[in-house]
Amino acid sequence: MKRFPQSNTIQRLPDQFFAELVKKLNHYQKKGHDTVNLGQGNPDQPTPGHIVHSLQTAAEKHVYHKYPPFQGFDFLKEAVATYYKRHYNVELDPDSEIAIMPGSKTGLVELSQCFLDPGDIALVPDPGYPDYWSGVALAGGEMNSMPLREENDFLPDYGELDKETLEKSKLMFLNYPNNPTAALANQQFFEETIELAEENDICVVHDFAYGAIGYDGEKPLSFMQVPGAKNVGVEIYTMSKTYNMAGWRVAFAVGNPSVIEALEKIQDHYFCSLFGGLQEASATALLDSQECVEELTTTYEKRRNVFVGGLEKLGYEVMPCKGSFFVWMKTPEGYSSQTFADDLLEKVGLFVAPGVGFGTYGEGYVRVGLNNSEETLKDALDRFAAFKNKT
């Protein structure tokens, strides 16, 4: 069969880390092996019933059977503005400071295409979400890694960035609560970020995917809550984690009007917004009672307590889990992140994500998801114990 040559743009793309992970697990399961999947960040709970009902009702409305407005319905943008005012006391102009997107991954990739030319630098966290790299590759830009180290609470140290790098940098990606380290950012760090961005004309993109999931009574800080944030960048929020709507593919960006304008312009060429029923159901989620979100966070916190406590009793070293639904654990002595992940799968049927897949500084760790019932997590703990006994 004839094979057509790929464009240079496609050839620049890295292999999709999560796609390769799933492929590996599927291959192993097809052989009939009993496995526990702790490697993915896929919410395991159903979407709350009142949101599902909203979609069911909306699907019957003829107005939504036509093409939606290119940049989304006004009512969803207004709902986003109301949500940010209620939860973060942040004022947003629905017309100029909010963009609706088909999933946050889409916007994170598009932003590099909006603001990077070949040779421009994007500052990316290491370890970090691999799809930041995808957007940079598509734009023909270059990446400069910002190491996230345990001794700095998994926050980047801006003192490590030299003048030449800062002069060429056009974008900076941040993500707190953090995937994969489960760390949080504080006000001082965001203030330092804004100051750096102001001085060097860098657009900050804060990926707030896990914004609703904080533990021990600490609510994660929105970048937009910090004075000056809106002047230097945007925040990306997804419905996936807060409302268990991962398959619905609804997200939004908020913040700097020039960034919102660019996002909407590129999306005018890629998409014709989202099905109106999805937009109405998303507005329902944002505006109705948030009891379901509180219950979800409580569920994850209980799981974290059971699982992290169990790992520590077994002698495994786990980083402080302050937010998100991930656990960032150190690999035992003598293992790389990949060999530890491989051995867990081969010997006890545990599937985890090797830290090196998130960047060079992810080496020495694996990421474990809390997207399973307490019963399944206790099963996983038994398997970790069995692995320890085998080695």
Output the tens digit of pLDDT for each of the chain's 391 residues. Answer: 989 888 988 888 877 666 777 777 677 667 767 788 998 888 999 999 999 999 999 999 999 999 998 999 999 999 999 999 999 999 999 999 999 999 999 999 999 999 999 999 999 999 999 889 999 999 999 999 999 999 999 999 999 999 999 999 999 999 999 999 999 999 999 999 999 999 999 999 999 999 999 999 999 999 999 999 999 999 999 999 999 999 999 999 999 999 999 999 999 998 888 999 999 999 999 999 999 999 999 999 999 999 999 999 999 999 999 999 999 999 999 999 999 999 999 899 999 999 999 999 999 999 999 999 999 999 999 999 999 887 6
> In sequence order, which residues have a C-beta less than 8 Å from that of residue 31 and are 6 or more positions away?
none
Q: Let me know if residue 364 belongs to a domain.
A: yes
Q: How many residues does the chain have?
A: 391
Residue 188: exposure state from Cβ atoms within 10 A (0-12, 13-18, ≥19): exposed
What's the CATH number where 55 sits? 3.40.640.10
Q: Cβ neighbours of residue 211 under 8 Å, at least 6 residues apart?
A: 177, 220, 222, 237, 242
**pLDDT reported for residue 205:** 98
Q: Name the domain boundary from 229, 256, 287.
A: 287
Token pair, residue 73, equals 């319905």
Q: Tell me whether strands 98-101 and 353-354 are parallel, antiparallel or unpaired.
A: unpaired
> Do 229 and 247 reside in the same domain of the chain?
yes
Both tokens of residue 273? 């917004």
| 127 and 86 inside one domain | yes
- Residues 194, 233: one domain? yes
Q: How far apart are CA 139 and CA 112, in angstroms?
A: 6
Shared domain check, 91 and 30: no
Q: How many CB atoms lie within 10 A of CB 26?
A: 9
Which residues form the domain of 379?
Answer: 8-46+291-390
pLDDT score, position 50: 97
Instruction: State the pTM of this model.
Output: 0.94
Statement to judge: residues 30 and 87 lie in one domain: no
Query: Are 265 and 154 members of one domain?
Result: yes
In this prediction, residue 23 carries a pLDDT of: 74
Pairing of strands 169-174, 203-207: parallel
pLDDT of residue 271: 86
Question: Of 287, 316, 349, which residue is a domain's last?
Answer: 287
Non-local CB neighbours of 1 within 8 Å, separated by 6+ positions: none
Pair 25, 54 in one domain: no
Residue at a domain's end among 237, 254, 287: 287
Quote the crossing angle between the two packed helices 374-390 and 291-313, to the nearest 10°: 20
Three-class DSSP category at 161: coil
Residue-level pLDDT at 32: 67
Residue 9: what pLDDT? 87
Question: The dihedral of CA 55, 59, 61, 64: what is its sign?
Answer: positive
For residue 1, being part of any structural domain is answered with no
